[in-house]
Structure 1
């Protein structure tokens, strides 16, 4: 199997984090049966088995803010230092999307400075919302201004929406609620003008964009109807969405990626495994489906295409 894949959607789950999140009440995170098992070695085994050179590690839901600002700052720092240590111990194999203690803006600005200046972070991971604060909220603008100044890669990841107790109907939230919360926060970023005010960020949307590809024209139409012209961003909704990157984590084929390619060009698509929240047998099957699918670019494979796209975002990544 040819190697070279760069996995932009890969999760670590250190024991100290699981213990702290469980103590905060997350025994069944986002309605799942429990916490998956994860270790550095099993992650490397999955990578080697599937020809993944580099995995950009991030924390998934419920993130590092478990209810207390000070505790969130401490947990973010511990997670980010731990991940940076992994990248040093395994050169070329891991990257670091750092966690921020949002919605604590001051703590997040402090962590951004530490992460990029001291840990050589590859980017930041932001949940679709933290404690009901979605990403278009104007209170977060200082954070986006700093990420824009640093030309940061911003990896989005869903969490349970604010209304999950009613909307999830008792089912695990990653099934569909993650998909709609991704669309919700991306729409918020677009409508609030965050992406046009801060154009130097490189934003990665997970899971093939969630519901965004099929909603793009609808969002565009409503933006024209309901945003006064003086408040309308310089780019329309479709143009903004076409400037983002999208990963292939989850069941990308046979329907998700073809829908995505109706919105963006193939130069905007990245590979993602979603391990360890996607169990190894499923991750293996998803990667096999990607390998079996025809690339939209003649003379390339999905492996070579997504790797080339990732290397534009992360020059020097990969072995």
Structure 2
């Protein structure tokens, strides 16, 4: 590992199988209903294919040696690991949701502690219960030493513009905590239940909707030091941000934010996982060369096997490429050098 310029993958997952048993035991009916909803949203064909994929990649999701070997093979020095998106909301009640979020954070911290020179971690917070968020965030960051938390694009009636989240945004800002926006599922439901549209179309749609709630509601005006990084390159929003700017100019009800929506892309971070060289260049142009960081979605099939090669294939200039691979992460995680033992 380079002491000065480690290659850091901000989008890598860990599977925590024990949590599923905890949730299932805590609320069997809710667990069954959520599983049924997921099947309806994805369709049985995609559910079966996803199950086979998870079994094939189970070692990389759960075994430290397999993870480190895969990182070494692709030149990734450090992973920022987050729980595989299955946040058990919005249906889990307050007690169960808080218990599961804290258990996920603890399990992630234990994984990080097993390889502190190679791993950083993100915990979970129960987004559907806004009053619990600050406590779960502090537990993850202050008690366990994680660099932040992962959230989905919404939870039931809780959108990211919800005023009940203000204390969470304030505390995340105070703690310099990373907030990793990674959707789980898609609220378009059965419209996307074939051809794996629930993922291929649904995930970038959810990213775009969630980021739009953050921008148009003024969250980023009120909390300018938030460290939010969007998975999947922010979905559809960066490439089509001109329509948001037009709406801001044309419609009076859009002025919940002070400036043009496009200006807020440069207050966010985005991972590089857009699956397309042209798309990565568009993202860099929209968000700024210093706001894109490496992301692989390790080790899922909708990720990339070699994220470093994917960035290099985009034909970016050397400075931009180096920033994505290693330099820009320092603005997102200022304590990188202190957090990772070399």
Q: Name the TM-score, length of structure 2 as normaliser.
A: 0.83
CA RMSD of aligned residues (A): 2.5
Q: Which residue of 2 aligns with 1:242?
A: 266
Q: How far off is 1:161 after superposition?
A: 2.6
Of 274, 295, 311 in structure 2, the residue corresponding to residue 272 of structure 1 is 295
* Contact 1:4–1:304 under 8 Å retained in 2: no
Alignment correspondent of 1:14: 16
Residue in structure 2 matched with residue 294 of structure 1 by the alignment: 315
Question: Measured at CA, do residues 67 and 239 of structure 1 come closer, stay the same or move farther in structure 2, by a change above 3 Å?
Answer: same
Q: Secondary structure at the match of 2:179?
A: strand
How does 1:125-164 map onto structure 2 within 5 Å? 125-164=150-189
Is 1:204 the counterpart of 2:229? The answer is yes
Deviations 1:52-95 (A, max 9, x none): 11111112433143522211111111110111111112112111
Alignment of 1:1-319 (within 5 A): 4-20=6-22, 24-25=31-32, 26=35, 31=42, 32=47, 33-35=49-51, 36=54, 37=58, 38-39=61-62, 40-65=64-89, 66-166=91-191, 168-172=192-196, 173-227=198-252, 232-251=256-275, 253-278=276-301, 283-296=304-317, 298=318, 300=319, 302-303=321-322, 305-314=324-333, 315-316=336-337, 319=342
SS at match of 2:81: strand
SS of the equivalent of 1:165 reads helix
Aligned-pair distance for 1:217?
A: 1.2
Contact 1:64 1:99 in 2 (8 A): no
Stretches of structure 2 lacking an aligned partner (at least 5 in a row): none
* Cα pair 1:153 1:202 within 8 Å, conserved: yes
Please tell me whether the aligned partners of residues 79 and 99 of structure 1 are also in contact (alpha carbons under 8 angstroms): yes
Gaps of 5+ in 1: none
Equivalent position SS for 1:203: strand
SS at match of 2:304: helix
State the secondary structure of the residue aligned to 2:185: coil
What's the TM-score once normalised by structure 1's chain length? Answer: 0.88
SS at match of 1:9: strand
